[in-house]
Chain A
Amino acid sequence: MLHVISALVENKFGAFNRVVTMFSAKGYNIHSISIGETEDPTISRMTIVTEGEDKVIEQIVKQLNRLIDTIKIVDLTYQPKVQRELLLISVGYQKGTRSEIIDICEIFRGNVVDINNKTLMLEITGPPEKIDAAINVLEPYGIKEIARSGLVALRRGEQIRKNKGETETNKPGELK
């Protein structure tokens, strides 16, 4: 089963490499990995999608925690979260298929970001299933190239509602 692990790491030389080295040294599989600076420029957030049974995932989280450069590790798999991936996809077109491809792009709320006389490049964002669906639908038109950003994810914030003067706190994700 795929797990989404969010890791806050020191934004410094070698930190990313340490995480990746740990995965390869322990024989764990990385499905996708993305990294970028956070609101604190000394900290980067890595979103790692990995595969394994719960026991393996537990070890991965512990092994990540053990690294000196990691600050906080959360397995977001069972947590309410927002997850997004960016797809850049270049699709070939002929007379008549161009508008069909642009229609599909609109259905997926994407943008056309480049065109020449043979190909269209589309930009689509969304959760991984949506990206998979877009690729699937575009496949018959002839996909030339694909670049996926890998997943980024954030835990949803707590929902706080005021009700008759008292504050009721829902656990994150329990949207009523």
Chain B
Amino acid sequence: MNSRKKSMTGADIFFECLRREGVEYIFGYPGGAVLKIYEKLYDIDFLKHILVRHEQGATHMAEGYAKATGKVGVVLVTSGPGATNTVTGIADAYMDSVPIVVFTGQVPTHLIGNDAFQEADICGITRPITKHNFLVRDVSELATTIKQAFYIASTGRPGPVVVDLPKNVINSITEFDYPDKIELRGYKPRVHGNQNQIKKAAMMIQKSKRPLLYVGGGVIMSGGHRELYLLAKENNLPVTMTLQGLGAFPGSDPQSLGMLGMHGTYWANQAVNNCDLLISLGARFDDRVTGKIETFATKAYKIHVDIDPTCIDKNVIVDLPIVGDVKHVMAELAAEISEKPDVTEWWEQIHAWKEECPLEYDMSDGRLRAQYIIEKLSDLTKGDAIVVTDVGQHQMWVAQYYKFNYPRTHITSGGLGTMGFALPASIGVAFAVKDKPILCITGDGGFQMNMQELATAAYHKLPIKIFIINNSFLGMVRQWQELFHAEKYSFTDLSDSNPDFVKLAEAFDIKAYSVSNISDVEPVLKEALSYNEGPILVDFRVVKEDMVFPIVPAGASISDMIIRRLDPKEMM
């Protein structure tokens, strides 16, 4: 039902729309073009505005909030530099299909194009990295545009939407009319897959000897983890997950093969190479997963379930595409399977691979290693924490050694690989999740890219556990330099320039420790996990030259994975 029409300013309409969309938090930063909105915000009590320290932080916070809850994350920034500072976060959300709506201020419409103070064509800039964007040219379009923005961001394959708000639009007055429903003739996301295709897929599963479920972030986004669990358990199917898929299926379940791809487990990659049926569920055959396309899963009949038709046949040509919401498709698929496939031999083979090359690291030299810390964390939290990671070696070690048992508990920047993601994203998570520990596992490099947000975390006393895996190097780049670039450690050594992270934290009144000894790890982790008065930071001084293994070199076949560090002579 429409409420009685009422004259309102653009700024009032803005908040009324957010109220109706159920927005709880806005991550934002004020500035000239959005002053009118901030004036109204002063008296608003149905939502909370979180003042960030840099607009990029705001976008990652919105992403963290959205990934942890499935709701739309909301950002509010000013025009010009405020808007351009959100670009990295928007691109990150686009690559990982995260529903966020970014409201940017804009100069008044009559000044657009004039190179006015703090003017930037943010719609032009963000066109290739948003699902859609809007420049609101008249206040009469404002309510409908906001409704459309939330609808587009959260439906179909989710993604970021930018709404650009010129200053005069915010100040103008119009009759408020919020549409009940949105009808976009050019946008009709498809929920149900083709029945015949699903029947055919069920038949293929029944007669397969070596089936494999290849699960991506789409399963988590669609809320399909239960459907996945039933499909996999009832038919005894092995499950391998992408980086974004971790948590969709319990990592400690014997049917989980862990992550596949560049830093995936040996047995998961062997399973991909040797399966006769590959069922991709909400994944996109990213190059970090497939390695060399020509040699990827060549023996397999390939089924691809995805809500986005552009993902199908984009990288790998598949035999049976099913376009639809993966949650519904999995439920329908499970219902169609009348006979379980015989996978006894297949499982024997997978177990043999697992024994052949397990994930392992060597602690015999008595030095502290990241893998050990992460395994300890996994044990102490029993896989029931929200783990937010940055980008690099620590991210891959978390993916390998932390056993994610629940969906929406692993939050990381996958597609874009944005260093500096973890700290702000974990702040966004902390506003959404109150009943689980929030672990921000980051590197010494990535942490410094958005460390200004320590102020945001400290001010709100958020119980985030910030664990810096500090090897005084840009470790992943260092690893590639060692393996593929003639050991020229070009500009990756941070040991002479890293700050004292403990002192840094203390400057924000954040409790902090530095740990270098193995024996200190467990007590410090326990203390951090039980401390809930505010953020706590631990600087773990780990081995410099450690590498993430296994690794498939970029562009190589996944069968050519390097399992461990070789003697330099062996590598010639």
Which residues in A have their C-beta under 8 angstroms from that of B152?
68
Name which of A66, A68, A70 has the most chain B CB atoms within 10 A of its CB: A68
The tally of CB-CB contacts under 8 A between chains A and B is 42
Q: Which of B180-188, B270-278, B373-381, B393-401 is the interface stretch?
A: B180-188
Contact status B127-A68, CB under 8 Å: no
A-chain residues with CB within 8 Å of residue B135 when the two chains form the complex: 13-14
B48 within 8 A of A: no
Provided the pairs A13-B135, A13-B137, A68-B152 are in contact, do residues A63 and B186 lie with their beta carbons within 8 angstroms? no
Residue in A14, A25, A67 whose CB lies within 8 Å of B186: A67
Point out which of B131, B186, B187, B314 has the most chain A C-beta atoms below 10 A from its C-beta. Answer: B186
- Is A71 a contact partner of B128 (Cβ separation < 8 A)? no
Chain B interface size, as a band, is 20 to 34
- Measured CB to CB, the nearest residue on chain B to A25 is B128
Q: With A68-B186, A69-B186, A71-B186 in contact, do A63 and B310 touch (Cβ < 8 Å)?
A: yes
Q: Which of A54-62, A82-90, A101-109, A159-167 lines the interface with chain B?
A: A54-62
B179, CB-defined interface residue at 8 Å: no
Interface residues of B in 117-162 (CB under 8 A from A): 123-124, 127-128, 131-132, 135, 137, 152
| Total A residues in contact with B, Cβ cutoff 8 Å | 21
Q: Say how far A7's CB is from chain B's closest CB, in angstroms.
A: 10
Residue contact A55 to B308, C-beta cutoff 8 Å: no
Q: Cβ of A71: which chain B residues have Cβ within 8 Å of it? A: 185-186
**A34 lies within 8 A of chain B by Cβ:** no
A55→B131 CA distance, assembly (Å): 23
The contact string, 1 if C-beta is below 8 Å from chain B, for chain A 62-80, is: 1101111111000000000
Closest Cβ of chain B to A10, distance in Å, is 6
Is B545 interfacial (CB-CB < 8 Å)?
A: no
Whole-angstrom CA separation of A86 from B185 in the bound complex: 32
B186 with A58: CB separation less than 8 A: no
Bound state CA distance, A21 and B121, in angstroms? 14
**Complex CA–CA separation, A29 to B124 (angstroms):** 20
Closest partner residue, chain B, to A65 (CB atom): B309
B313 CB-CB contact with A under 8 Å = yes
Residues of B contacting A136 in the complex (Cβ-Cβ under 8 angstroms):
none
B127 near A55 with CB under 8 A, answer no
Query: In the complex the two chains form, is B127's CB within 8 Å of A66's CB?
Result: no
CA distance in complex: A122, B539 (Å): 77
In the complex with contacts A13-B135, A14-B123, A63-B310, A68-B187 CB distance below 8 A: yes
A10 to B132, CA, bound (A): 13
Q: How far is the CB of B99 from chain A (nearest CB, A)?
A: 14
Contacts of A22 in B (CB 8 A): 128
Question: How far, in whole Å, are A14 and B312 apart by their CA atoms in the complex?
Answer: 27
Distance in Å: Cβ of B136 to nearest Cβ of chain A: 11
Binary flags per residue of A16-28, CB closer than 8 Å to B gives 1, else 0:
0110011001000
Residues of A99-148 at the interface with B, using a CB-CB cut-off of 8 Å, are none
Contact B184 A66 (CB under 8 A): no
State A70–B152 Cα separation when bound (angstroms).
Answer: 14
Closest to A18 in B: B127
Known A59-B310, A71-B186; further 11 A-B contacts with Cβ < 8 A: A10-B186, A14-B127, A17-B124, A22-B128, A59-B313, A59-B314, A62-B309, A62-B312, A66-B308, A67-B132, A69-B132
5 contacts between A and B (CB under 8 A): A14-B123, A14-B127, A22-B128, A59-B314, A62-B309
User: Across chains A and B, which 5 residue pairs bring their CB atoms closest together, nearest first?
Assistant: A25-B128, A62-B310, A68-B132, A71-B186, A21-B127
